[in-house]
Amino acid sequence: MPTEMIPVIDLGPYLKGEPSALDRAATELRHALTEIGFYFIVNHGVPRGQIASVFDQVKRFHAQPMENKLALKLNHHNTGYMPMRGNTLRTSTVQAGTKPNLNEAFFIKKELPADHPDVLADRRFRGANRWPEGLPGFKEVITGYADTMERLVQKLVRIYARALDLPATYFDEPFREPQFSLRMTHYPHQDGPVSDEFGLAPHTDTSFLTLLAPNDVPGLSIRTQSGRWIQAPAIPDAYVVNGGQMLQRWTNDLFLATPHRAINQSGGERYAIPFFCDSNIDWPVAAVPTTVGPDRPPKYPTTYYTDYMTWYQKRNYDVLNADQQAAD
């Protein structure tokens, strides 16, 4: 019977290079991603002070006057500010007919220099980040944290490779320059019972993996394989990690993309900092060899990040669609 508890994986021994630690972590990860689709990581190496600094900066951003935030309105690269109720999860297979999500968010992707060929060409999802004026230190803290997350992912994917019975270095090249999105979200408090309006409606992520920073304010719940919704406990200094639709494609549905939702009934404001990470933008996403065979053909056609995310963004981000209609 699938587990009803989110397991905890201690990365300490693996990051220290202890013998057999990689394969032990891989065994635990495979169990987590085939049974419940979520896990916690502890002893991950991300300084507590760095995480606290990011939360402070996210609060500073959302405390700005609305006109300052709207000056950075979300664009086709999925960078910038998304206003409250700016997206509706129409692609969710978990719960249809929900109202727009009760959150606002600021997004960045990898910081690229102004003379980078992709920036100069305005390549989709590879444009320049836009930064708020009047918030000294904001950019430096946020990009520093994104760099830390990128390095952590590059260590984690070796555990994923071994969990899939592949050489540890299998994902090194696809994730040498991963494509990521760092979302800085503010959820206001919600009163009363929730039926069709959520901070974030039930959904599955699109990513290969998502890292959610440790948070003292609860709000995340996940749907187990039995169909029961459980609250994700707040474990001190522990990241919550889950897989998404791209991970399903990489693993031919061996690993789960588990539905989850966010509801803030804490009595105060809630901030969340998920880091959504995928392989290099030009890397073909297809089932790895150990997940296919004569009796297990590939369930999905090969795809690419840009194609998949263009479809997803068009379907779910009302703020972009409204701007496009106005332009038309």
> What is the dihedral sign for C-alpha 202, 110, 273, 157?
positive
Report the percentage of the chain scoring pLDDT > 70: 91
Residue 66 confidence (pLDDT): 97
| Average pLDDT across the chain, whole number | 92
* Residue 254's pLDDT band (cuts 50, 70, 90): very high
Q: Quick one: pLDDT at residue 74?
A: 94
Instruction: Output b/e per residue, 168-204; b: 16+ Cβ within 10 A.
Output: eebbeebbeebbbbbbbbbbeebeeeeeeebbbbbbb
Strand partners, 272: 185
Query: Does the structure show a pLDDT above 90 at 191?
Result: no
Quick one: what percent of the chain has pLDDT higher than 90?
Answer: 83
- In this prediction, residues 262-282 reach a mean pLDDT of 96
pTM of the model: 0.94
- Identify the residue with better confidence: 88 or 254: 254
Domain coordinates in residue numbering, the chain: 8-327
Quote the CA–CA distance of 29 and 31 in Å, as a whole number.
5
What's the pLDDT score for residue 96? 63
- pLDDT tens digits for 92-117? 566 665 688 899 999 999 999 999 99
How far is residue 143's CA from residue 155's CA, in Å, rounded to a whole number?
Answer: 19
What is the fold of 8-327? Jelly Rolls (2.60.120)
Write the DSSP symbol of residue 225: T
Residue 311 pLDDT level (bands cut at 50, 70, 90): confident
Q: Are 288 and 221 within 8 A, CB to CB?
A: no
CA distance linking residue 300 with residue 250, whole number of Å: 9
What contacts 251, CB < 8 A, 6 or more positions away?
Answer: 164, 287, 288, 291
Question: Would you say residue 328 has pLDDT above 60?
Answer: no
Q: Where are the beta strands (DSSP E) in the chain?
A: 8-10, 38-42, 80-82, 104-108, 179-187, 200-203, 209-212, 220-223, 229-231, 239-242, 260-262, 270-272, 274-278
Q: What is the pLDDT of residue 87?
A: 75
